[in-house]
Structure 1
Amino acid sequence: MKFRCERDALLEALTTTGRAAGTRGGYQLVLSGVHMALSGDDLTLTATDRELTITVHLKVAGAMDGETVVTARLISDVVRSLDAGAVNVEVNDGGIDVESARSSFSLQTMSAEDFPKMTALEDEPVVLEAGNLTAALRQVVKAASTDESRPVLTGVLLSAEQGGLRMVTTDSYRLALCDLPELELLGSEPSVLVPSRSIQEVLRLLEDSDNITLRFSDREASFGIGSITVATRLIEGEFPSYQGLIPTHQPNRLTMNRESLISAVRRVRLMAQDSTPIRLDMSSAGLDLSATTQDVGAAREQMDAVYEGEDLTVAFNPEYLLDGAEAATGEEVVLNTVDALKPAVLRIPESEDFLYLLMPVRIN
């Protein structure tokens, strides 16, 4: 294999694929590598840890077809270290040579035959404008769990609901839900559970893209963004029944400016250390936020807000409250509560398409 290309283009492709390379203990050595295959002027880079696979197609000046596998992190570091300009890459019996200007590197390679064989999904593709889907995924992905001992909670549930698409995540302390009415995405599949790690990679790539191509099978999903494909194994198992957790009657309603709430929580949480919650004192006078950590200090901030209901003090994990406020859109948010112990629900005024449920923290 032999080709020539610009450093910046090669580095971007290697950085993107490298995020799927296996880095944790227990992986086969070959899974720490990036598979490079050249056909004509088309270079295909692939990395996988068997759960997540990222493939990038890159146009280069090809001189000799071939394939190899090289350690993903090392080849990325080498290319990153080079000056901007043309890079020459050649694979020979001794490994892979990378040259640019006066710099040259020789790296050991691994057998391409040991790298997992990739097969593209044959299911009918769905092509969408990325805007609404991207915004909805951002609203829910942070509420997914990172505890891999409960895999079903680390996923984003995509389900067909009344002619549209519903997205749900939960880590058992909070729950995020977003509906996209009239978006029929899943076809014959009533629901799929996509790993949140894969969704985060897709969101990273969608920052510069207008369209996305999706394919779903009973075990896999793929997301095509330009010359990049992110494929992921779906999570097996039953997502928790969440509908009964959402309160149907909450007599207390707090309406406030969203940006003001975000800024206030960020300031007050500086004194909410060692798992200390933020207290919200709600009354007709408005909202007081406070946090006190012994041997550290205390913070208190008053906010303008409109409160309807009986005076109430409720406390939340500051990070969870902040995530919910940031996930909402628009100028205002509404916090609906029952009492200091039952789930609270953060909503967008006049919208039923988004909700963020969070459990209060018991306080003395």
Structure 2
Amino acid sequence: MKFVVSSSELLYHLQAVSRVVSSKSTIPILENILFELSEGKLTITASDLESTMVTSMSLENVEGEGVIALPAKILLETLKKFPEQPITFDISMDTKGVDIITDKGKFSVIGLDGDEFPEIPKVDVDKASHLQLPASLVLSGINKTLFATADDELRPVMNGILIEMSPESLTFVASDSHKLVRYQRSDATTEFSSSFILPKKPASFLKNVLVKEDGDISIDFDDKNAFFQMENHQLVCRLVEGNYPSYNAVIPQDNPNKIIINRQEVVNSLGRVSLFSNQASNLVKLSINGDELMVSAQDIDFSISAYEKLSCQYDGQPIEIGFKSAFLAELLDNISTDDVVMELADPARAGIFLPVDNDGPEDELMLLMPMMINA
């Protein structure tokens, strides 16, 4: 088996799938990337058993067909050092010896039998649901929610993004119990109602490849796996099993205190003031009175404190509420508008954060649980 390929094009495809490769796998072949040459097309596959990423490229200068697994790390590191040039892969299917030939040299490695590579799961047609969405919409849903997923071994359902579809909307939800994000699109609907939990790791794979995808993405899912078919890539991943908590139940409905703040001003202020907060709690206090928002923090143990006053739009009773600074800054960083509406009921209930312009097909809501303010 022999083929010629552009070094930079091959590197691009390898980098797309290599994020799936686990360096700590107990199955040696999973530290390899599968190359399958057939009918002038090179299909490249990587897997960690939980997720499988596939990409393909058309080649013109090809001899023979076959399948072989090649070591991911040495292949990637070598290609990164090459300038753009055509390189030849000369593969002996009998010995699994691989010669990578350039104008100036030859690099030899030993591959593994490609037949030992795990098979890609197939969709269960009897249990499967199908939907087709713009790649940009799926990317927006992942971008808006991925940061809010948890790392909770005891509650694995929290370690992913809940994707709900219905005749009314498509909803992406993520929560780590401290913060919650709900991103809805009324311009993406289905004739059926269903849902699945996309694990964090394959969600981050999708985020990386969808940036370079145009057009639609085809999604099929059954009770165990989800299959994402894009123009240049395919991702198959095992879904998180279990029922996602009733997230709507934790969103406060009656929030009489509404404040409009400049998002970036508050983020910048948090960056300065939080340096003076207790390192263990990272607590900052927001005091709102009239058209003034005061951001303050203190660390009694080291006798340090700080406050800054910012302007805001507020018509309501004075209120003080505490938040973990890092969570509040992260949440504000992920809202798309310059101005943000903050809705509060009382210091013991969660704060709601909304873009100031939330009227189109996008409905974006973020929630942050408060912290107790020491008297």
> In the alignment, which of 206, 210, 224 is matched to residue 202 of structure 1?
206
Residue 164 of structure 1: how far off its partner (Å): 1.3
Aligned-partner SS, 1:141: helix
Answering whether residue 124 of structure 2 is matched by residue 108 of structure 1, we say: no
- For 2:43, the aligned partner's letter is T
Give deviations 1:252-274, integer Å, cap 9, x for gaps. Answer: 22111223233333343444544
Match of residue 16 from structure 1 = 16
* Structure-1 separation of matches of 2:284 and 2:200: 27
- Taking the aligned partners of 1:31 and 1:2, their CA distance within structure 2 comes to 23
1:153 aligns with 2:158: yes
Specify which of 128, 133, 157 is matched with residue 128 of structure 1: 133
TM-score by length of 1: 0.91
Contact 2:42/2:56 (8 A) holds in 1: yes
More displaced, 261-270 or 32-41?
Answer: 261-270
The 5 A counterparts of 1:301-316 are 301-316=308-323
Residue 181 of structure 1, CA deviation: 1.1
Answer with 226-235 or 321-330: which moved more. Answer: 321-330
Q: Who is 2:365 aligned against?
A: 355
Is the contact made by 1:82 and 1:103 (CA closer than 8 Å) also made in structure 2? no
1:331 match: 338
Deviation at 1:194, TM superposition (A): 1.0
Which amino acid in the other structure matches residue 210 of structure 1? Answer: D
Whole-Å separation in 1 of the counterparts to 2:305 and 2:205:
38
Deviates more, 1:99-108 or 1:4-13: 99-108
Partner Cα distance (2:103, 2:199) in 1: 42
Aligned residues: 362
Deviations 1:234-286 (A, max 9, x none): 11101112222111112222111223233333343444544422222221141
Q: Give the distance between the partners of 1:229 and 1:347, measured in 2 at CA.
A: 34
Give the Å deviation of 1:106: 1.6
Q: Is the 8 A contact 2:146 2:200 kept in 1?
A: yes
Q: 1: CA distance between counterparts of 2:211 and 2:108?
A: 35
Counterpart position of 2:231: 226
| Letter paired with 1:336 | E
Does the Cα contact within 8 Å between 1:156 and 1:193 map onto a contact in 2? yes
Distance 1:124 1:171, change over 3 A: closer
Name the CA distance, whole Å, in 1 between partners of 2:322 and 2:197. 31
1:176 aligns with 2:186: no
1:62 aligns with 2:62: yes
Q: What is the CA–CA distance in structure 1 between the aligned matches of 2:303 and 2:240, rounded to whole Å?
A: 42
Q: Give how far 1:119 is off.
A: 4.4
Partners of 1:135 and 1:5 in 2: CA distance: 34
Secondary structure, aligned partner of 1:341? coil
Shift of 1:307: 2.1
Q: Would you say the 8 A contact 1:276–1:292 is kept in 2?
A: no
2:367, 2:234 → 1: CA distance?
A: 33
> Does the 8 A contact of 2:214 with 2:231 survive in 1?
no
Moved more, 43-52 or 162-171: 162-171
**Counterparts in 2 of 1:324 and 1:68: CA distance versus 1, 3 Å:** same
1:251 aligns with 256
Residue equivalent to 1:71: 71
- Distance verdict in 2 for CA 1:40–1:298, change over 3 Å: farther
Question: Is structure 2 residue 109 aligned with structure 1 residue 99?
Answer: no
Instruction: Decide whether aligned partners of structure 1 residues 101 and 268 sit closer, same or farther in structure 2, where only a CA change above 3 A counts.
Output: farther
SS in 2 for 1:134: helix
User: What runs of 5+ residues in structure 1 fail to find an aligned partner?
Assistant: none
Where 1:132 maps in the other structure, the secondary structure is helix
> Cα 1:345–1:289, aligned 2, differ >3 Å: closer, same or farther?
same
Deviations 1:294-340 (A, max 9, x none): 55965433221112332222222222212221222223211111222
Contact persistence 2:121–2:236 (CA under 8 A): no
Task: Please give the per-residue CA displacement for 1:22-75, whole angstroms capped at 9, x wherever unaligned.
Answer: 223x53111121111111321111011111111010122322211111221221
**TM superposition score normalised by structure 2:** 0.89
Note if contact 1:82-1:100 (Cα within 8 Å) is conserved in structure 2.
Answer: no
Coordinate RMSD, CA, aligned: 2.3
Q: Quick one: structure 1 residues 35 and 297, their matched pair in 2 at CA, closer, same or farther if it must change by over 3 Å?
A: farther
Q: Is the 8 A contact 1:271 1:296 kept in 2?
A: no
Distance change (3 Å), C-alpha of 1:274 and 1:110: farther
